[in-house]
Amino acid sequence: MGKTSAGAEAPAAEKAAGTKKAAATKKAVATTAPAAAKKTATKAAAAKDTAAKKTAAKKTAAKKTATKTAAKKAPAARKPESRVAMVRRARRINRELAELYPYAHPELDFTNPFELLVATVLSAQTTDLRVNQTTPRLFAVCPTPEDMAAMAPERLEELIRPTGFFRAKTRSLLGLSAALRDRFGGEVPGRLEDLVTLPGVGRKTANVVLGNAFGVPGITVDTHFGRLARRFGWTTQEDADKVEADVAAIFPKSEWTMLSHRVVFHGRRVCHSRKPACGACPIAPLCPAYGEGETDPEKAKKLLKYELGGQPGQRLKPPADYPGQPAPPMAAP
Ligand code: SF4
């Protein structure tokens, strides 16, 4: 029992010693832990600071690069430009657009001057696609000025209804086809001064017909051409005739017709009215309006239209060298 009690005392002492040691260790740990934690925290803070500094430096470098790229992409925006420099830049834009769209062409389907004249009148306030989807049926019913002039207005209205403003357009078509029959022997005249005397035919329509059916150079100022000419800094005018005069003073006559097609092609595919795809625009370095639209290359790519964006074009019967898909016929109602 005494053994037992001695034996019982010894573990108690050991236990007491053990407890003291443990307490001391705990204390030591408790004393050193905050210091270590502090050290670690300081180290972490320093590392964080360095990382933040590095990120900031990286950001500044990226910003600098972006600024440099933007400056490189839009040199025309950097300083006021002399007339000579603007003309040089304008002609370079034309050359680059020629490389980009070697297949540029009028986007209205036609097989003769009369069809082109009618299609151009119908294209007011609507898309070329809609006109191209409408004219096959129209020309099947009235292929000549004489046929069209003899049509009942209601029947003509019904045929051209999909192009919108069909009452006013019907009046123009009946008037111009009667004028062709009565004043020009049923033929479309090949002179601007004659064309503009026809009902519903202004300079734009006359230039389209002259340039594409008669090979007479003409600048076609439609909504796309006017918008891009202003973005390119070729003009500040809003009026189509004034835009035409400004652009005519920059380019040789021999370029007028194809220039018109290329600029309109670019306007339809890349340099859209509301969302120009600046980040995917091959002529961005020559354009003072770079940045007016989306500059992120991936996002901009998604804005591209027609053959550049992989969608069908405007013509149901495009020329043989057109690299994209033909437009589909009108969907059945
Ligand atoms: S898409 Fe942008 S950069 Fe290209 S022509 Fe239009 S405004 Fe200029």
DSSP sequence for 205-250: HHHHHHHHHS--------HHHHHHHHHTTS----SHHHHHHHHHTT
Please tell me whether residue 320 adopts helix, strand or coil conformation: coil
Q: Is 287 annotated as a binding residue?
A: yes
Packing angle, helices 240-248 and 223-231, rounded to 10 = 50
Query: Are 237 and 310 in a shared domain?
Result: yes
Q: What tens digit of pLDDT does each residue of 181-206 get?
A: 999 999 999 999 999 999 989 999 99
Mutate to test the pocket of ligand 1, among 69, 283, 296, 302 (most ligand atoms within 8 A of CB): 283
* Distance in Å, CA 155 to ligand 1 centroid: 43
Check whether residue 198 and residue 321 sit in a common domain. Answer: no
Report how many helices (DSSP H) and strands (DSSP E) the chain contains, helices first: 14, 0
Regarding whether 262 and 243 lie in a shared domain, the answer is: yes
pLDDT of residue 40: 46
Q: What is the domain extent for residue 230?
A: 74-103+217-328
**Is the same domain home to 135 and 278?**
no
- CATH code assigned at 168: 1.10.340.30
**Residues 177, 221 within the same domain:** no
Q: Is residue 9 part of a domain?
A: no
Assess whether the C-beta atom of 280 lies below 6 angstroms from ligand 1.
no
Is 222 annotated as catalytic?
yes
* Ligand 1 pocket test, candidate residues 263, 270, 272, most atoms within 8 A of CB: 270
**Per-residue pLDDT, 232:** 98
Residue from 302, 309, 306, 330 nearest 318 by CA = 306
Domain identity same for 93 and 187 = no
Tell me which of 216, 235, 262 is where a domain ends.
216
Residue 33 lies in a domain: no
Q: Which helix (H) or strand (E) is 123 found in, with range?
A: none
Examine the fold and report which residue of 160, 191, 216 is the final residue of a domain before the chain moves on: 216
Residue with token string 């300081």: 42
The verdict on residue 53 lying in a domain is no
Q: Ligand 1 mean position to 144 CA, how many Å?
A: 41
pLDDT at 25: 40
Domain boundary among 188, 216, 244: 216
- Sign of the C-alpha dihedral computed for residues 314, 316, 320 and 323 taken in this order: positive
Residues 193 and 136 in one domain: yes
* Ligand 1 neighbour 100 (Cβ under 6 A): no
CA atoms within 13 A on the CB side of 200: 24
Rg of the chain (C-alpha set): 37
Tokens describing residue 118: 């009618």
Q: Please tell me if the CB atom of residue 200 comes closer than 6 angstroms to any atom of ligand 1.
A: no
Q: Residues 43, 49, 204, 296: which is the catalytic one? A: 204
Looking at the fold, whether 225 and 318 belong to one and the same domain comes out as yes
Q: What is the pLDDT along the chain (333 residues), one digit of tens a residue?
A: 333 333 333 333 344 444 444 444 444 434 344 444 444 444 545 555 555 555 554 554 444 444 344 444 454 456 789 999 999 999 999 999 999 999 999 999 999 999 999 999 999 999 999 999 999 999 999 999 999 999 999 999 999 999 999 999 999 999 999 999 999 999 999 999 999 999 989 999 999 999 999 999 999 999 999 999 999 999 999 999 999 999 999 999 999 999 999 999 999 999 999 999 999 999 999 999 999 999 999 999 999 999 999 999 999 999 999 999 999 999 876
Is residue 137 located within the same domain as residue 212?
yes
Q: Which of 15, 79, 222, 321 is catalytic?
A: 222
Tell me, yes or no, whether 69 lies in a domain: no
Say if ligand 1 is within 6 A of residue 271 CB: yes
Is 281 touching ligand 1 by the criterion CB < 6 Å?
A: yes
d(CA 276, CA 292): 7
Same-domain check for residues 231 and 189: no
Judge whether 198 and 176 are in contact, CB under 8 Å.
yes
Q: Are residues 171 and 182 in the same domain?
A: yes
User: In total, how many domains does the chain have?
Assistant: 2
CATH number at residue 227: 1.10.1670.10
What's the N-to-C CA distance of the chain in angstroms?
Answer: 112
pTM of the complete model: 0.76
Nearest to 225 by CA among 201, 249, 241, 212: 241
Question: Are 114 and 138 part of one and the same domain?
Answer: yes
pLDDT score for 79: 76
272, part of any domain: yes
333 assigned to some structural domain:
no
> Is 145 touching ligand 1 by the criterion CB < 6 Å?
no
271 is in an annotated binding site: yes
Residue 65 falls within a domain, yes or no? no
Q: Give CA–CA dist 274/16, Å, rounded.
A: 85
pLDDT digits (tens, 9 = 90+) for 88-114: 999 999 999 999 999 999 999 999 999
In a domain, 120, yes or no: yes
- Annotated binding-site residue? 142: no
Q: What's the CA-to-centroid distance between 304 and ligand 1, angstroms?
A: 12
Rounded to the nearest angstrom, the distance between the alpha carbon of 258 and the centre of ligand 1 is: 19
What is the pLDDT, as a whole number, of residue 179? 98
